[in-house]
Homo-oligomer: A and B are copies of this chain.
Amino acid sequence: MSGHLAVVGLGPGDARWLTPEAQAALDAADALYGYGPYLDRVSVRPGQSRHPSDNREEMRRAAAALAHAAQGARVVVVSGGDPGVFAMAAEICEAIETGPPAWRALDVTVVPGISAMLAVAARAGAPLGHDFCALSLSDNLKSWDVIERRLDAAANAGFVIACYNPVSRARPWQLASAFARLRRHLPGTTPVIFGRAVGRTDEAVTVTTLDGADASGADMATLVIVGSHATRVIARPGRPLVYTPRAATEASA
């Protein structure tokens, strides 16, 4: 089968985070699929077809892209950030597993990108400098009970926590509930970072504490990083530096 499908990470908003490999994959595509606002970030090349879809239609988008590739086209599915982290690469795999057997013979590649947590962490200093986890706070696809158990486990074991999908219009209370849950395990002084729209012109990064963290400060474009016992804040002119030392103290474990 001659078709080819690449799942391409665009990185967060800044074009300077688009890797040469991702740019080459976009340039070579016959057809581009993705969430509309992500596709809008890709420069138009004559002869390429574009297939924007809504952000609730990932499985349908994956199946449409695979069907298109199976016709022999070079198809790209774009993701913001990295396609392997809470994004389209898993949807494509799931569509392949559950779809027509011929899709397994397609040439499929995943082109990594700068994930949002890496970009937010870079702006703040090095909060992910030691053991950490990435956790989606969306309870669309798992129960809130599972999320609470994972918050408990991560905080108690000393992991810094990068929270993806902290809020949406349909999920207004989850982030505040997560902060309340984490306050059972972590000191109120634990550093918390809100990174909104990092790499875009409306970027806003703020550093606060677990006690001071206000969930209403987050929206769908926000990634929230909650430190561990070991995470430190360095006061300096302008925004402080936040980092987690590589040497773990026993208190952080």
A residues at B contact (CB < 8 Å) = 11, 14-21, 24, 82-87, 89-94, 96-97, 104-105, 108-115, 118-119, 121-123, 125-136, 141-143, 145-146, 149-150, 152-154, 156-159, 232, 234-237, 241, 243-248, 250, 253
Contacts and interface: CB of A to CB of B under 8 A. Distances in A.
- State the oligomeric state as a number of copies: 2
18 contacts: A83-B122, A84-B118, A86-B246, A89-B125, A90-B130, A90-B243, A93-B129, A96-B241, A97-B234, A108-B241, A113-B114, A115-B115, A131-B134, A133-B133, A141-B247, A150-B158, A153-B153, A153-B154
A50 to B, nearest CB: 23
B132 A134 contact: yes
A135 B129 contact: no
A89 B126 CA distance: 6
A92 B126 contact: yes
A248 B235 CA distance: 40
Given A20-B18, A112-B114, A131-B136, A146 B126 contact: no
Contact of A142 (B109, B149, B248): B248
Contacts of A17: 19-21, 112
